Copies of this chain bind each other. A is one copy, B any other.
Amino acid sequence: MALYDKVMELSKRRGFLWPSFEIYGGTSGFITYGPYGVILKHNIENLWRDFFIYKQENFIEIETPIIMPSAVFEASGHLEHFTDPIIACLKCEKRYRADHLIEELTGVNVEGLSISEMNEIVKEKDLKCPDCKGALGEVELFNLMFKTNIGAYKGDVGYARPEAAQGMFVEFKRIFNIMREKLPLGIAQIGKTLRNEISPRKGVTRLREFTIMEVEVILDPEEINNCPGFEKYKNTSISLLTASLQQKGEPPVNITIEQAVEERLLDNKWLAYFLAVSKSFVKTLGVAEDKIRFREQLPHEKAHYSKQTIDLQVYLDGQGWTEIAGHAYRTDWDLSRHIKFSGVDMRVFKKTEAPLTVKKLVLKPNKATIGPDFQKDAGKIIGELNKMDPVEVKNKLDSQGFIEVAGRRLTSKHIEFEEYEEVVKGKKFIPHVIEPSYGADRLVYTALEHAYTEKEGRVILKLPVKLAPIQVMVYPLVERDGLPEISNQIYMELLEKGFRVEHDVSGSIGRRYARADEIGVPLGVTVDYQTLEDKTVTVRDRDSWSQRRIFISELADILKQFFEEKISFDQIGYPVNKIE
């Protein structure tokens, strides 16, 4: 059996994760986390928070809705760009990813081809439906966002977010204010994200519903190479597969992030810094260094908002190098668009050393048109207009063609604008954005696959101690002679002290150990007949299967030190048979 199948079989049987809705035949692209999977996922999310929020200065977390009104995605460009080409069979009505189908049927590399170029291939090669041999229709763009209606009005269209990022952008102004207007500002979010994939893959690699972990690092573009954390990580070496190496068919280079910036392989120091942080994070999940690499997205792969995107890939059995994170330099794309579409000024002011000459806009109500058009309201309208921000008024007029003042609609014929130059001691700018973005589900699977080992025909899930869903399993050797009462006391004490602990009472001790190894429980505590004599228990190591004895009275303190990684297993208690 392939490693992938073994990991998925274990995941299902032991309660990590499995495909959802099985009793109704399943719906691909959706997974369920069982009792151990949920804790593993939360542990990974919290470790991510540690690296990407808590250890960063002025980084915070927010939570925004999954369903958002269409205005957000018009501005973000997702309505226009977040699409895949599809093609339908005119006979059986089955739909395919057009690019995948053409590649499959013709072997032609369609990367970067336009819709009309794909249509030409379909006609030229006279491609048919592989299922029923029927004729194929035209290649079309299919938007990958789940669409719905908000409220009882048919017109109020909303979409499930395909990324968490837009929630951060639309809230930028308020968060910036709450955080006392300091840049760089990191706004993070962990939450559900949905993409209506046409052909979800097996397992967790391309899900329709998944958990994203994203930080939008919002900064002054003039400070994009002023990254305080860079110094500490500058000698971190990464395996980097640039776009140009891919185009030449060459393997990745090993290079420090400092060199990569110097050689202009990476756009800037903030982007480079996060590659190093990401590598460090992924290593703590138990992924070996040689199974981690960074791949630059090719020009035609990049999202519409990105200047440079570097994926972090890990090597997975059967799937090869698989993207588990992206690091995108989104520039000012998103904030510019939201400023334009909402008419709200989200620019940031900064003082400049030397005075600057800037262009200013003045708004002039056109009394010649306002008077006749609005009669008795004219005075009030002019009064209000004079209090408004000229830039916002102009943006609104440009974007929606009118502006509402005192309950009346004014168009460009009612307002004139004049530009003049002014000397100021600061300037307003649209911040830029660097975005590290992770898929939590892929990380869960990666951690499981990289922890999966076999020994003497049995499975051991060697999860890093920090990730293990259950830290300690407590056992009575047998279910009689007062042993379960003692083990229950130990279980209750460890539970009370905040350990993630289970009490496993029934069945042969060998089978119970085997189950704990499969769940990845680092330590087992066994109450046996010697316990009745000297109040000691054995502690069993998942990875080596070796055992040590320790007094019950010392147990909680020593386990705490073990899980804080202050001592190793060999420093727990005493060798077996050496206590008297």
Interface residues of A (CB under 8 A from B): 12-15, 18, 20-24, 27, 29-35, 37-39, 41, 54, 60-69, 71-72, 86, 88, 93, 95, 142, 146-153, 156, 158, 160, 167, 170-171, 173-175, 178-179, 191-192, 194, 196-198, 208-209, 338, 341-342, 344, 346, 495
Point out the residues of chain B lying under 8 angstroms from A61, CB to CB.
Answer: 35, 38-39
Q: Which residues of B contact A208 (CB under 8 A)?
A: 67, 150
**Once the chains bind, are A198 and B148 in contact (CB under 8 Å)?**
no
By beta carbon, the residue of chain B nearest A65 is: B30
Partner pick for A20 among B65, B147, B152, B175, CB 8 A cutoff: B65
- A171→B72 CA distance, assembly (Å): 35
Say whether A69 contacts B24, CB under 8 Å: yes
Among B32, B146, B167, contact of A64 (Cβ-Cβ < 8 Å): B32
Candidates B66, B153, B194, B196; contact of A209 at CB < 8 Å:
B66
Measured CB to CB, the nearest residue on chain B to A147 is B148
Contact residue among B23, B93, B151 (Cβ-Cβ distance under 8 Å from A173): B23
Contact (Cβ within 8 A) B150 A148: no
How far apart are A375's CB and chain B's nearest CB, in angstroms? 25
- Asked if A63 and B41 make an inter-chain contact with CB atoms under 8 angstroms apart, the answer reads yes
Docked-complex contact A150 and B192, CB < 8 angstroms: no
Other A-B contacts than A34-B62, A35-B60, A38-B60, 10 sampled, CB-CB below 8 A, are A14-B178, A20-B167, A21-B68, A27-B150, A30-B65, A30-B67, A34-B174, A39-B61, A67-B160, A146-B149
Query: Closest CB-CB distance, A338 to chain B, in whole Å?
Result: 7
A38 engages B63 (CB within 8 Å): yes
CB of A561 to closest CB in B, whole Å: 15
Shortest CB distance A77–B (Å): 15
- Give the complex CA separation of A173 and B12 in angstroms: 12
Contact present for B24 and A71 (CB under 8 Å): yes
Q: Is A67 within 8 A of B35, CB to CB?
A: no
Say yes or no: B23 contacts A338, CB within 8 Å.
yes
CA A27 to CA B41, docked complex, whole Å: 32
Q: List 9 A-B contacts (CB under 8 A).
A: A14-B178, A23-B346, A27-B69, A32-B62, A34-B175, A35-B179, A41-B63, A86-B152, A146-B149
Please, which residues of chain B bring their CB within 8 A of the CB of A13?
Answer: 178
Which of B12, B21, B32, B173 makes the CB contact (< 8 A) with A63? B32
CB distance from A337 to the nearest CB of B (A): 12
CB pair A21–B72 under 8 Å, yes or no, is yes
Contacting residue for A175 out of B35, B150, B197, CB 8 A:
B35
Cα of A467 to Cα of B175 in the assembled complex, Å: 21
Closest 6 CB pairs of A and B: A35-B60, A15-B178, A33-B63, A23-B342, A95-B152, A30-B65
Provide the bound-state CA to CA distance between A125 and B65, in Å: 41
**Pairwise interchain contact B21-A69, C-beta atoms closer than 8 A:** yes
Q: Which residues of B contact A62 (CB under 8 A)?
A: 32-35, 37-38
Chain B residues lying within 8 Å of A69, measured Cβ to Cβ, are: 21, 24, 27
In the complex, the answer to whether A65 meets B152 with C-beta atoms within 8 Å is: no
In the bound complex, CA of A160 to CA of B66 (Å) = 11
Verify A72–B35 contact, CB threshold 8 A.
Answer: no
CA distance A399 to B37 in the complex (A): 34
A175 → chain B closest CB, angstroms = 6
A21 to B64, CA, bound (A): 9
Residue of B nearest to A96 (CB): B152
CB distance from A433 to the nearest CB of B (A): 16
Q: Measured between alpha carbons, how far is A93 from B191 in the docked complex, in Å?
A: 36
| A55 nearest CB neighbor, chain B only | B495
Across the interface, name the chain B residue whose C-beta is closest to A209: B65
A54 to B149, CA, bound (A): 38
Please give, as numbers and ranges, the residues of chain B lying within 8 Å of A12 by CB-CB distance: 174
Which residue on chain B has the smallest CB distance to residue A170? B23
Bound together, the chains give a CA A24 to CA B74 distance in angstroms of 11
Candidates B14, B170, B173; contact of A21 at CB < 8 Å: B170
Taken together as a complex, chains A and B put the C-alpha atoms of A346 and B24 apart, in Å, by 13
The distance from the CB of A34 to the nearest CB of chain B, in whole angstroms, is 6
Decide if B178 touches A35 in the complex (CB within 8 Å): yes
Contacts of A72 in B (CB 8 A): 21, 24
Chain B residues positioned under 8 Å from A160 (CB to CB):
67, 148
Most chain B beta-carbon neighbours within 10 Å: one of A27, A152, A158, A171: A152
Smallest CB–CB gap between A98 and chain B, Å? Answer: 11
The smallest beta-carbon distance between A76 and chain B, in angstroms, is: 12
Most B C-beta atoms less than 10 A away, residue of A20, A29, A68: A20
Docked complex Cα distance between A30 and B64 (Å):
8
Closest residue of B by beta carbon distance from A70? B24
Contact of A174 among B18, B86, B152, B171 (CB under 8 A): B18
Which residues in B have their C-beta under 8 angstroms from that of A341?
24
The interface residues of chain B lying within 8 Å CB-to-CB of A149 are 146-147, 196
| Minimal Cβ-Cβ distance residue in B for A503 | B57
- Could you tell me the distance between the alpha carbons of A61 and B150 in the complex, rounded to whole angstroms? 30
Q: Given A15-B178, A175-B15, do A67 and B342 touch, yes or no (CB 8 Å)?
A: no
Q: How far is the CB of A249 from chain B (nearest CB, A)?
A: 34
Whose C-beta in chain B lies nearest to the C-beta of A140?
B152
For A190, give the chain B residue with the smallest CB separation: B38
How far is A151 from B95 in the complex, measured between Cα atoms in Å?
9
Question: Is A153 in contact with B95, judged by CB distance below 8 angstroms?
Answer: yes
Inter-chain contacts of A342 with B (CB < 8 A):
23-24
Q: Which residues in B have their C-beta under 8 angstroms from that of A170?
A: 20-24
